[in-house]
Amino acid sequence: MKEQNLKFPKIDKKWTLFLDRDGVINEKIENGYVLNIQMLKFLDNVLPAFPILSQIFGKIIVVTNQRGIGKNLMSIEDLESIHRFMLREIQKAHGRIDAIFYCPHDYEKEECNCRKPKIAMALKAKAMFPDIDLKKSIVVGDSKSDMEFAKNIGAIGVCIGENISGDFDIFYFRDLKAFAGALIEVL
């Protein structure tokens, strides 16, 4: 992992946490999609991170590209069933997610303004929760498009897993719990 000389600002309940789903909350299926609840496997240390993150952030929002819908591999109902299951498991672990926004489009077939790194999902979150200040937000993802999304909304980018090259300053952590632990140290 890349050395980090960055420091987190003081985070409080006025801050919003935007989370990617695949590769951050659950295992990413390379060249595939999570099509049902049996395929959703939480990453190690994710569920224990949610109670910590829920105490720190005022809002926790999932923003996820779900191209499998646009490719007709799954329906919106399938995705919503997966998300209900995910929310129940996070709540059982004493965590929370305040809202989930997704882009269902297949970018090879149709244009849209919601696929990350475009910012429509962040704007929808702000419309739903007007107190969100995008400049007081952190985006946690595992891809370059997630980090570009963070930059595009003026948020701090946090990458889970591998280093990503690009024109942005970002933090790197092995998993969501390591990120949560780093935040506790600066509170």
CB atoms within 10 A of CB 173: 18
> Can you give the pLDDT at residue 42?
98
Phi, psi (rounded to 5 degrees) for 37: -65, -25
Query: Token pair of 21, please?
Result: 């789903």
What residue segments make up the domains of the chain, in order of their start? 16-186
Q: How many CA atoms lie within 13 A of 77 on its CB side?
A: 0
pTM, full prediction:
0.94
- Catalytic residues, by residue number, are 20, 22
Give 148-164 pLDDT, tens digit per residue.
999 999 999 999 987 77
- β-pairing, 137-141 vs 99-103, is unpaired
Show the tokens assigned to 118. Answer: 């475009």
What pLDDT is recorded for position 6?
63
* CATH number corresponding to 16-186: 3.40.50.1000
Residue-wise pLDDT tens for the chain (187 aa)? 344 556 888 899 999 999 999 999 999 999 999 999 999 999 999 999 999 999 999 999 999 999 999 999 999 999 999 999 999 999 999 999 999 999 999 998 989 999 999 999 999 999 999 999 999 999 999 999 999 999 999 999 999 987 777 777 789 999 999 999 999 988 7
Whether the Cβ atoms of residue 113 and residue 71 lie closer than 8 Å to each other: no
